[in-house]
A and B are shown apart, each in its own frame.
Chain A
Amino acid sequence: MERIGFLKKEKIEEYLQSLSKKGELYVPVDVGRAVKFEKYLTGSSICLDRPPTLPPKSVIYPQSERLFKFKFKKDEGNVDLIEIEEVEDTKKRIIFGARPCDSAGFSVIDNVFIQTDTPDVYYERRRMNSFIAAKACDKPSAGCFCIAVGGGPFDDSGSDALITELEEGYLIEAKTEKGSLFLDWELIEPGDDHLEKKLKKKEESERLLSEYLGELKKIEPLDPKTESFNDENFWKRHLSKCISCGLCTYLCPTCYCFNITDEKKIFEGERIRSWDSCMFFHFTLEASGHNPRPDKFKRFRNRVGHKFMFYPEKYSQLIACCGCGRCIRFCPVSVDIREVVFELQKPRRV
C-alpha cells in the first residue's frame, strides 16, 4: 500500500475539514500571543510556522479530567449509599501539526501509564484512540535541543505520520498503521517524487540545529553517583534565580505528575485528576505538615533528577526530556536546564 502522499498547499483547508469528519481534530491555532492546540472548526487559522507554545499533551492527557461523579443518597431504610457514575470516553482524537518533540513526549508518558502492570485506563483509552501527525521542523527555535536527547527535527518516534512542508505543499508520510488515516487519497497525490526534496530539507534542518547548539550536542543520562547532585551548594549556585513557578512543568511534553482531588458540593461531587507540578511547595506537602522538599533547590533537583537520572534508570536509559526547549524559551528568569545538566556532568570543582 502507498505510504507517502503529497498535499497541495491550496487544499489544506479541504484536507483538514475532511480529517475533522474522521474524529475530533486538534490543530495549533494562534490565540493571540500564544499558539495552542484547539478543536478544529471550519475557518480555524492553523498555525504551522512556529512551534506551538503549549504542546498537544493536554489533548490526550488533559490538565484536569473527571474520573467519576458521585452522589450521596439514602435508601428506603435510611442507609447511606454512594452512587458512582463512570466516565465514558470513546472519542477518536486526531492531532495535526504537533512537533516531533511533542510526539516523542507521549512515548515518555506511555512508559509510565501504559507499559506497566497497572495501566492507567483513562490515559490508555485516549492514547490508543489518538492519531498524531507531526510537522517536521525546518529551523531550530530559541532553546531547541532535541538532537541532544536522541530526537531530531525530522524524528518520527511517537508519531503516526510525519508532515514535511515543502514549497508547493505538504509531504505526508504514514509511519504506523494508524498513520494511514492521514492519507486521504481523494485530496492527496502520490508523494514519492518529493522525497528527495524532503531529505535535503532534513539535512539542512539538522545542520542548522547542530550549528546552533555548538558544544551542547549530546546529553547523556546522569550517573546516579554524580557528586554535585547531592551538593546543596551546587543547586544554590545555579538555581538561586528560579522563582519556583510551574511554567516549565506545565509546558513540558513529558511531565506527567498529577494530583487527585474530590471536588464536593453538599450531596454530590466529582473526583478529578489534574496536572500537578513538582516545582510547587504543595506537591510533596504531607498530611503531618512535614515537607521533604520544602525549598526550591530540592524541588529543582528532583525535576532534573527525575528527567535525567531516575527515569533513565528505570526505563532503559531513556531520558524523560524531548528537547523541545519550551522550559528554556518561556522561563520568566531564563533558567536553562541544559546548562544545569552539563554542569552536573562536569568533574566537581574542589
Chain B
Amino acid sequence: MVELKEKISEVFRDTNLVICWREGFDPIHATPHFVREESQIEDSIFNLFCVHNLCVYLPFLKEKAGILVKGCDSRTLIQFLQEGLIRREDVVIIGISCRGIIDVGKLMREVLYEAVTGVSIDGDSIKVKTVSREREFQLTSLLADKCKICRYPNPLIYDHLIGEPVESKVSWDMAYEDIREFEKKPLEDRLSFWTKEIGKCIRCYACRNACPLCICRDRCIAETRDPHFTSQSVELKEKFMFHFIHAVHLAGRCVECGECERACPVGIPVKMMKKKINLEMKELFDYETGINVDDKPPMYTFKAEEEKIKEHEL
C-alpha cells in the first residue's frame, strides 16, 4: 500500500489528477476516487474490491490524468489509443499486476444482502462479518468469473508498475469455452434463456454507461427520438433491440472487462453476447481487442476480399 501511495504521489505531481480507488460505503465496496488534492492521496487503496474499470472516465476528461489499471483494464487503454479516443501523452498509467477481484454482487447475494460490517482476508479464505453473523468463504468461490479465465493479469501498457508479475495459464480456447458450450444448446433453449434474461431489463442503461467503449453516451440511438430505433415502451422486443445495438456496436472493440455485466442491477449476463461477437472477430479476422496499440480494429477498415468471408467471390 505504501508503494501504491508513493506512485500516486509521484504521478500526481505531474498530472494534478489521479483516478484511483478509495473505500466505499461498506467494507466490501470500493469506489472510484478522483485525487485532485494532495491530501486525498492518503485515502487511496487497492484491494480485492477494486472492481471498477476506471478507464471509463478517460474519453470525457478534458485534462491530463494519472490512472490505475489492472491487467484487464489496461486493454481498454490500448483500444482507446487504437481508436484515437485518448492521446498517449494525456495519461500516465500506473499498472497493477492483479490476482483477481471479488464478484461483489455474488458476495452480497451469498450473505442475502445483509449489511456487512467487516471483512478479513487470510490466505485463500475470506471472513465476512454481517450485522447478524460471520461467514467464511473460499476466495476462489467469490472470484469474478472473468478472473477465473483471465489471460492478462499483468497490464499490457503502463508507465509505472506495481506488484510482482502474475502468471496465467489460461488459453484462448479455455476463455471461450462457456460460449461454445452455450452454443451447443438447441435454439429454443437459447431463445428461452435470453427471453427470460433480457425480460428482466429495466433499461436503466447502467451496462451502457459502465462500458468504457460505449462512447456515444448522450447521443445513444437507444434514446434518441429521431431516428426512432427503439420506443420508450418496456416491451421485450425493445429491450432486445437495445442490447443487440449495444453488443453489435462493440464488435471488435469490447475488451471484456465485464463492467456491463457487473453494473447490471438485475444480473443479466450481457457480457456473453459481447464474448460471442469477439469469438467471431477472432475467427473471421484473427483479431483480438486491446492487445497492440498499432492494430486497426477490423470494423474500422476493410479489405476488398476478406480471407474468410466468401460471399463476394464471383
Roughly how many angstroms separate A144 CA and B218 CA in the complex, as a whole number? 31
Q: Are B200 and A334 in contact (CB under 8 A)?
A: no
Q: A212-B117, A261-B232 are in contact. List 4 more A-B contacts (CB 8 A).
A: A50-B112, A142-B115, A243-B210, A274-B234
Q: Are A142 and B200 in contact (CB under 8 A)?
A: no
Q: Are B115 and A140 in contact (CB under 8 A)?
A: yes
CB closest residue in chain A, given B205: A245
Q: Are B223 and A282 in contact (CB under 8 A)?
A: yes
Q: Are B266 and A53 in contact (CB under 8 A)?
A: yes
Roughly how many angstroms separate A211 CA and B131 CA in the complex, as a whole number? 9
Q: Are A241 and B234 in contact (CB under 8 A)?
A: no
Q: Are B32 and A333 in contact (CB under 8 A)?
A: yes
Q: Are A36 and B263 in contact (CB under 8 A)?
A: no
Q: Are B34 and A240 in contact (CB under 8 A)?
A: yes
Does any Cβ of A come within 8 Å of B113's Cβ?
yes
Of A36, A243, A246, A336, the contact of B24 (CB 8 Å cutoff): A336
The stretch that binds B, out of A5-13, A27-35, A124-132, A182-190, is: A27-35
When distances are taken between beta carbons in the complex, the residues of chain A under 8 Å from B302 are none
What is the interface size of chain A, counting residues whose CB is below 8 A from a CB of the partner? 52
Query: Which DSSP category, helix, strand, loop or mixed, fits chain A's interface?
Result: loop
CB closest residue in chain A, given B107: A142
The 6 closest A-B pairs by CB, nearest first: A33-B267, A281-B218, A332-B263, A245-B209, A241-B32, A334-B31
Q: Are A251 and B265 in contact (CB under 8 A)?
A: yes
Does any Cβ of B come within 8 Å of A107's Cβ?
no
Does any Cβ of A come within 8 Å of B229's Cβ?
no
Does any Cβ of B come within 8 Å of A54's Cβ?
yes
Task: Enumerate 21 A-B pairs (CB-CB under 8 Å) in ascending A order.
Answer: A31-B200, A33-B109, A36-B266, A50-B109, A53-B265, A141-B115, A143-B115, A211-B131, A240-B32, A241-B34, A241-B57, A247-B265, A250-B204, A259-B232, A261-B231, A280-B205, A280-B223, A282-B223, A282-B224, A332-B262, A336-B31
Which of B117, B217, B218, B259 has the largest number of chain A CB atoms within 10 A?
B218
Does any Cβ of A come within 8 Å of B243's Cβ?
no
Q: Are B209 and A244 in contact (CB under 8 A)?
A: yes
Q: Encode contact with A along B156-167: 1 for CB under 8 Å, 0 otherwise.
A: 000000000000
CB closest residue in chain A, given B218: A281
Does any Cβ of A come within 8 Å of B26's Cβ?
yes
Does any Cβ of A come within 8 Å of B30's Cβ?
yes
When distances are taken between beta carbons in the complex, the residues of chain B under 8 Å from A259 are 232
Does any Cβ of B come within 8 Å of A272's Cβ?
yes
Q: Encode contact with B along A231-270: 1 for CB under 8 Å, 0 otherwise.
A: 0000001001101111101110000000101010000000
Q: Which residues of A contact B (CB under 8 A)?
A: 31-34, 36, 49-51, 53-54, 62-64, 139-144, 208, 211-212, 237, 240-241, 243-247, 249-251, 259, 261, 263, 272, 274, 277, 280-282, 328-330, 332-336, 338-339
Q: Are B115 and A139 in contact (CB under 8 A)?
A: yes
Q: Encode contact with A along B12-42: 1 for CB under 8 Å, 0 otherwise.
A: 0000000000001110111111101000000
When distances are taken between beta carbons in the complex, the residues of chain A under 8 Å from B108 are 142, 329
Q: Encode contact with A along B78-97: 1 for CB under 8 Å, 0 otherwise.
A: 00000000000000000000
Q: Are B131 and A243 in contact (CB under 8 A)?
A: no
Roughly how many angstroms separate A141 CA and B197 CA in the complex, as a whole number? 25
When distances are taken between beta carbons in the complex, the residues of chain A under 8 Å from B112 are 49-50
When distances are taken between beta carbons in the complex, the residues of chain A under 8 Å from B263 are 243, 245, 247, 332
CB closest residue in chain A, given B266: A34
Q: Given A31-B266, A33-B267, are A332 and B233 neighbors across the interface (CB < 8 Å)?
A: no
When distances are taken between beta carbons in the complex, the residues of chain A under 8 Å from B232 are 64, 259, 261, 263, 272, 274
Of B115, B208, B217, B224, the contact of A144 (CB 8 Å cutoff): B115
Roughly how many angstroms separate A335 CA and B263 CA in the complex, as a whole number? 13
When distances are taken between beta carbons in the complex, the residues of chain A under 8 Å from B235 are 64
When distances are taken between beta carbons in the complex, the residues of chain A under 8 Å from B130 are 139
Least CB distance, B208 to chain A, in whole angstroms: 7
When distances are taken between beta carbons in the complex, the residues of chain A under 8 Å from B34 are 237, 240-241
Roughly how many angstroms separate A142 CA and B109 CA in the complex, as a whole number? 11
Roughly how many angstroms separate A336 CA and B26 CA in the complex, as a whole number? 10
Q: Are B24 and A277 in contact (CB under 8 A)?
A: no
Q: Are A212 and B56 in contact (CB under 8 A)?
A: no
CB closest residue in chain A, given B34: A240
Least CB distance, A232 to chain B, in whole angstroms: 13
Q: Given A31-B200, A245-B209, A339-B25, are A329 and B266 neighbors across the interface (CB < 8 Å)?
A: no
CB closest residue in chain B, given A138: B132
CB closest residue in chain B, given A337: B25
